C-alpha cells in the first residue's frame, strides 16, 4: 500500500503562485480532483493532507 503522507492538495508541484491563484476565490474542485486522479493512477491508495 502506497500513501502520500504530506500532501498539499491545492498545490501542483509546478508553479506555486499559479496554484494558489487558482484557488483564490475558493477551492477549485476540478484541480483537486485532477490531483487525486494523478495519485490514484500512480498507485497511491491514501492521502493525508
Rounded to whole angstroms, how far apart are CA atoms 31 and 25?
Answer: 13
Q: What is the pTM of this model?
A: 0.78
Record the cell numbers describing residue 45, joined without a space. Answer: 491508495
Portion of the chain with pLDDT greater than 90, in percent = 73
41: β partners: none
Phi-psi region of 16 (alpha: psi -120 to 50; beta: other; left: phi over 0): alpha
Cβ pair 4, 45 in contact under 8 A: no
Banded pLDDT at 31 (limits 50, 70, 90):
very high
The answer, yes or no, to whether residue 16 has pLDDT greater than 90, is: yes
Amino acid at each position: 500500500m502506497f500513501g502520500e503522507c504530506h500532501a498539499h492538495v491545492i498545490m501542483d508541484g509546478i508553479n506555486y503562485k499559479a496554484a494558489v491563484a487558482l484557488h483564490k476565490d475558493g477551492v477549485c474542485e476540478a484541480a483537486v480532483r485532477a490531483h487525486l486522479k494523478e495519485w490514484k493512477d500512480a498507485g497511491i491508495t491514501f492521502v493525508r493532507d
